[in-house]
Amino acid sequence: MTHRLSDQPWLTAAATRAVMAALEASGGPGCARFVGGCVRNALIGRPVADIDIATTLRPEETERAIRAAGLKAVPTGIAHGTVTAVAERRPFEITTLRRDVSTDGRNATVAFTGDWAEDAARRDFRLNALYADAEGQVFDPTGKGVADALAGRIVFVGDPETRIREDFLRVLRFFRFHAWYGRGEPDAAALAACRDLAPGMSRLSAERVSSELMKLLSAENPRAAVAAMAEAGVLAQVLPEARLTPLFEAAVVQGAEPVVRLMMLLPPDDAVVREASARLRFPNATRDRLVHAALVLPAISLSMTDRQARSALYGHGARAFSDAVRRRWAEAPDRAVDARRLLALAEGWTRPPLPVGGRDLARLGVEPGPETGRLLKAFEEAWVADDFPAAGHAERLRALVSQQRG
């Protein structure tokens, strides 16, 4: 059965047409095809973000063709055959057809080829080994890619163990693609290969692993994929601190963002979180967010009054407060009303600035120095405890100075 992409604005966009025309002007009709995610997503009605193109042209020929058409060419991965074309400020990643010469589980040595089937044979999953020409006609070299995409099946191209041994990151990619595109039970052969070869992921860089993990957790509903990861021993290999509990499922039901979902897999222990973050080399912002949520959690309760919540927000910040509230909500799913009240308060509340400063104390005869700091700290504590009153600051400060001086 012949398939054709239809109603795809990116396919008929002027920038896309310009890039394909530039390549075909050099290599002739059919020398370039769209490949991978853009074809897959167009077939199943998902949004298309990146547009990748495969071509029979060699990298240097691609670069010349793009520049000859007056477009920008960036040799982003020339050794592996990749040139990025930029048309109307949109990037198009163009890669020469390749076959693997050797692999070591992390990197591959490739040779360029003009054979579309050889290029498809080195890809990970059949639904990613799809191509489409400039008019949208789909090519399916494995003969199963279109059916897999439409049915939600994540199946390796060829033998699963062979594909994984070429790049052990494909273990995580299998679960990530199942989270994003899979339906029903995971492919049994793929799952068995992932279980057997999971220890090979120890050879991968921490950055590659953490990036893939966060992409997986970004899926709308990654619960089944993460459960399969845990059952296969893959979750323990990647994140031994993780515990798959009802908290994770609750976070997904809440619609929590990926970092919060990750937080639910980890214990609320800042030392454990720091160690896991360091090992996987999470970005500093992710690490700090996980740590702060663990530190703040003991101070947060869904029974807090709005006044108590404002005090906690002032002391801990809205993000750490909200993350801790979401964990408490996951622990008590029946307290959704209280959790939403506190989350709404955090979203709408603006932390007020301290209404007095050193100059105010100087006007009361307090010399700059340690006493100023102590008095301002005492004023702040009383001001927060009184729920941030908007007036009477001068009188409060004068009384505090008199009290402190006896």
Q: Where in the chain is the domain with CATH 3.30.460.10?
A: 1-151
- β-pairing verdict for 82-87 and 98-103: unpaired
Provide the 8-state DSSP code for 96: E
**Above 70 in pLDDT, residue 105?**
no
Q: Which fold has domain 152-238?
A: cca-adding enzyme, domain 2 (1.10.3090)
**Above 70 in pLDDT, residue 283?**
yes
**Above 80 in pLDDT, residue 104?**
no
**CA–centroid distance for 198 within its chain:** 22
pLDDT number for residue 110 = 79
Average pLDDT of span 84-97: 96
> What's the whole-number average pLDDT of the chain?
94
Domain 1-151: which CATH number of 3.30.460.10, 3.90.920.10, 3.40.640.10, 3.40.50.2300:
3.30.460.10
Buried/exposed code over 80-109 (b: 16+ C-beta within 10 A; e: otherwise) = ebbbbbebeeebbbbbbbbeeeebebeebe
Average pLDDT of span 250-271: 95
Digit-coded pLDDT (tens) for 203-256 = 999 999 999 999 999 999 999 999 999 999 999 999 999 999 999 999 999 999
Beta bridge partners of 85: 73, 92
222 vs 50: CA distance, rounded Å: 22
pLDDT number for residue 101 = 73
How large is the angle between the packed helices 393-404 and 370-385, nearest 10 degrees?
A: 130
**Above 90 in pLDDT, residue 366?**
no
**Above 90 in pLDDT, residue 143?**
yes
Query: What band does 198 get if pLDDT is binned at 50, 70 and 90?
Result: very high
**Above 70 in pLDDT, residue 365?**
yes
Digit-coded pLDDT (tens) for 318-347 = 999 999 999 999 999 999 999 999 999 999
**Above 80 in pLDDT, residue 406?**
no
The answer for 281, left when phi > 0, alpha when psi is -120 to 50, beta otherwise, is: left
147 is written with which tokens? 């059916």
pLDDT number for residue 99 = 86
- Name residues whose C-beta falls within 8 Å of residue 375's C-beta, 6 or more positions apart in sequence: 361, 366, 397, 400, 401, 404
Percent share of the chain, pLDDT over 70: 98
**Above 80 in pLDDT, residue 151?**
yes
pLDDT number for residue 262 = 97
Digit-coded pLDDT (tens) for 20-58 = 999 999 999 999 999 999 999 999 999 999 999 999 999
H helical segments located in 159-222? 160-166, 169-181, 188-197, 206-217
Amino acid at 404: Q
**CB atoms < 10 A from the CB of 265, how many?**
21
pLDDT number for residue 79 = 78
pTM over the 0.85 mark? yes
pLDDT number for residue 239 = 96
**Above 80 in pLDDT, residue 100?**
no
133 is written with which tokens? 């020409």
